Amino acid sequence: MGVSRLDVFYRRLLLTKLFIGGWGKPEDLKRIFEFRKIIGDREKCKSLVPQDYPVYINKTEELADCHVQEGFFISPLEHLVPGILPQEAVKARFQFIVPKRWQKNRPVCIHLAGTGDHMASLAVTNWPKPIPLIPCLSWSTASSVFTTGVLSKAVNWTQLEKQYAINSRYEEEIIKLLEYCGADSFKMGPKLVTNVDEHFHELSEDHKLSVSQCSRVDGGRDCGGATDGAEHLLSLGNSVGASFETLPTALGGYNAHGRRTDPAECCRPSLHKESISFMKGVMDECTHMANFSVPVDTSLIVVVQAKEDAYVPRTGVLSLQEIWPGCEVRYLRGGHISAYLFKQNIFRQAIYDAFDRFCVKYPNLH
């Protein structure tokens, strides 16, 4: 299948850039990778957050058919990996809507933010009991989103390449910590580069993107609209990028680690491909579902995916059916944006069906 023209066109209207601060401090990346090893094991997650973890309600409203409560809690990540979150993400806010009249059962469906359809899949891998999961327009890893999807053109590759070139710790220390080595691992460099070049050719009006075209910095901000699953990993990119160290403006001389740098080194022909490969490795390490526990009951998972999704490419990566045998995948015609705008009834039906399966299979757990 090809990619949706609407997806490509919509992304061209948005001027935001991703990873504008660089890769991040090597020590922060190390802490993220170490914590990934913990949350990747469901047994290790059980004691991370106490059952009486404080949650605050600061507003209550009564409507004709429901009660609405608004509240917040401090992200446990702030305590578990202090300082790793951007300040804007430390306080997690939510709205809890409860109907005044229930039918037979009392299901609770947690809707994450538009960029959270993937943090939904990851959360269920940690849950020790059977639970329905409906990932909307997300797939097995975030790596393809930032390396071959339309969002890859929003990545500030110039900044990433310069930082990768002058800081030897990325090559000498960080790569050694990347553990995912599956069929679509970053270590399969030649195949990845071929796929990347093909996708850039397909997504570019000019049929050939140069490094400067890929990394041109534009002003402006995304204005919402299709922030459903449409940019479901935008928050991940921002949260990682927000704490990244800035790059010295002078590329010559010595860097902060005492390594002599050569301006010409930042322009070596393979640097862009190396940076793409490194991005894939980091994203696979942190977000690839194969790095996390398999959900307790995969028959309760109903994945909704768009056939021509240009935001979340499925080519060249493991499918969710391979990682989660027994899950169901429902494909929509069209792309990411059109699915959000016109197919929300299909998302809702998937939620109903997953809950029905749960009630039939586990009548004593609800």
Give tens-digit pLDDT for 48-107.
Answer: 999 999 999 999 999 999 999 999 999 999 999 999 999 999 999 999 999 999 988 889
* pLDDT confidence of residue 15: 85
Give tens-digit pLDDT for 119-152.
Answer: 799 999 999 999 999 999 999 999 999 999 999 9
- What is the mean pLDDT of the segment spanning 337-364? 95
* pLDDT confidence of residue 268: 60
Strand runs (DSSP E) across 9-156, as ranges?
Answer: 56-62, 66-74, 91-99
Strand runs (DSSP E) across 146-266, as ranges?
Answer: 253-254, 260-261
Cα 190 from Cα 272, distance rounded (Å):
13
pLDDT category at 182 given cuts 50, 70, 90 is low
* pLDDT confidence of residue 174: 92
* pLDDT confidence of residue 103: 85
Token reading at 87:
């300040």
pLDDT category at 1 given cuts 50, 70, 90 is low
Q: 17: which residues sit within 8 A by CB, 6+ positions away?
A: 154, 155, 156, 217, 218
b/e code 63-77 from CB counts within 10 Å (16+ = b): eeeeeeeeeeeeeeb
Of residues 92 and 242, more confidence is placed in 92
**Of 97, 114, 110, the residue nearest 351 (C-alpha):** 110
Contact, 291 vs 208, CB < 8 A? no
- What is the mean pLDDT of the segment spanning 270-274? 90
pLDDT category at 243 given cuts 50, 70, 90 is very low
Give tens-digit pLDDT for 288-329.
Answer: 999 999 999 999 999 999 999 999 999 989 999 999 999 999
The bridge status of strand 328-332 relative to strand 56-62 is: unpaired
Contact, 75 vs 88, CB < 8 A? no
Contact, 30 vs 173, CB < 8 A? yes
The bridge status of strand 328-332 relative to strand 302-306 is: parallel
Residue 255 has pLDDT above 60, yes or no: no
User: What is the average pLDDT value for the chain, to the nearest integer?
Assistant: 80
- What is the mean pLDDT of the segment spanning 261-280? 74
Q: 296: which residues sit within 8 A by CB, 6+ positions away?
A: 127, 128, 129, 130, 131
Cα 286 from Cα 174, distance rounded (Å):
13
* pLDDT confidence of residue 227: 34
pLDDT category at 364 given cuts 50, 70, 90 is confident
b/e code 141-160 from CB counts within 10 Å (16+ = b): bbbbbbbbbbbbbbbbbbbb
Cα 334 from Cα 221, distance rounded (Å):
26
* pLDDT confidence of residue 270: 86
Q: Can you count the helices (H) and strands (E) in the chain? A: 17, 7
Strand runs (DSSP E) across the chain, as ranges?
Answer: 56-62, 66-74, 91-99, 253-254, 260-261, 302-306, 328-332
Instruction: Calculate ∠ Cα 233-238-241, nearest 5°.
Output: 125
Kindly report the number of other CB atoms within 10 A of residue 163's CB atom.
Answer: 24
Phi/psi region, residue 143 (left: phi>0; alpha: psi -120 to 50; beta: rest), is alpha
Bridge partners (DSSP) of residue 73 are 92
